Structure 1
Amino acid sequence: MIEIERKFLVNSDAFKSEAFNSYTIKQGFLNSDKERTVRVRLIKDLGYITVKGKSSLDGLSRFEWEKEITTSEANSLLSLCEDGIIDKIRFEIKSGIHIFEVDEFFGDNLGLIVAEVELKSENEDFDKPSWLGKEVTGRIEYYNSQLSKNPFGTW
């Protein structure tokens, strides 16, 4: 239940032609404290509740627990969330043996595109696509919980 991931900015929209899947995500936070976050997501016709622990010092890993919930439950919980609901489209792109999840944000975070890759270990090598930009792993301002409070559009 430990998530290990690296996060990058995206420097072009070339990733879209490489995507094998895409879907919209609406998410909010019942708790966005940096020690622990509780996130609610609506993806297509499925809901999820996720608890994440505090990130490691380098931002590469943290505890994550997720459970599927009904759409009705997700909508009810979204209505209780803190201000700053996140709307985005997620694109999934295969690169070598890994899958990058690229999020294109809308609303107050319009213009922000971030790619994440999950790894099995902090030292694992991975192929870096040409559209991958600057690494922002561990930069708290790029966490969705922070984007809900301090949107990209206000930077």
Structure 2
Amino acid sequence: MIEIERKFLVNSKAYKNESRQKTTIIQGFLNTDPERTVRIRIRGEMGFITVKGKSNDSGTTRFEWEDNLNIKDARALLHLCEPGIIEKTRYEICVGKSLYEVDEFHGENEGLVIAEIELKSETSPFQKPDWLGAEVTGDVRYYNSNLGKNPYKNWKDET
């Protein structure tokens, strides 16, 4: 139930040629308190509820619990979410022995592309593909729970 993850910006569209799967994701947050977030997600035709705890100081590690929801319940719960529903396309790319999930955001977050990799430990080695850009692990602006409240279009020129 502990998630160890690193996030990176993406510097080219080359990941699309390496993708083994592409899925549409719609998600919202019932709660965006920094101590605990509660997310409702529709991924393809499946629904999920996820609870995440506060990240450690580096932003790499936090508690995560997830369970399936039927699609009807997930759609109904999205209507109860805080303003700022997120829509994105997720690409799954194998690089060496690792799986990268690259999220291409739409709507208010158009233009933002983030790659995430889950690791077994904070010091686990991993291959970095050429399309991987600057690391943004721990930068709370890039947390999905914050992108709903303060979308990329509002701050992208500041980076």
Structure 1 residue 54: deviation in Å?
0.3
Match of 1:103 in 2: 103
Distance in 2 (CA, whole Å) between partners of 1:49 and 1:59 is 21
Match of 2:13 in 1: 13
Match of 1:26 in 2: 26
Match of 1:147 in 2: 147
Distance in 2 (CA, whole Å) between partners of 1:17 and 1:58 is 31
Match of 1:122 in 2: 122
Match of 1:79 in 2: 79
Structure 1 residue 44: deviation in Å?
1.1
Deviation readout 1:7-45 (Å, 9 max, x if unpaired): 000000000000000100000000011110000000111
**1:132 partnered with 2:146:** no
**What root-mean-square deviation, in Å, do the aligned CA atoms of Structure 1 and Structure 2 show?**
0.3
SS in 2 for 1:74: helix
Distance in 2 (CA, whole Å) between partners of 1:85 and 1:73 is 16
SS in 1 for 2:92: strand
Match of 2:55 in 1: 55
SS in 2 for 1:39: strand
Paired residue type of 2:50: T
Distance in 1 (CA, whole Å) between partners of 2:43 and 2:83 is 19
Aligned residues: 155
Unmatched runs of 5 consecutive residues or more in structure 2: none
Structure 1 residue 115: deviation in Å?
0.2
**1:113 partnered with 2:113:** yes
Distance in 2 (CA, whole Å) between partners of 1:83 and 1:140 is 18
Displacement over 4 Å in runs of 4+: none
Question: Identity of counterpart residues, as a percentage?
Answer: 59
Match of 2:36 in 1: 36
TM, length-normalised to structure 1:
0.99
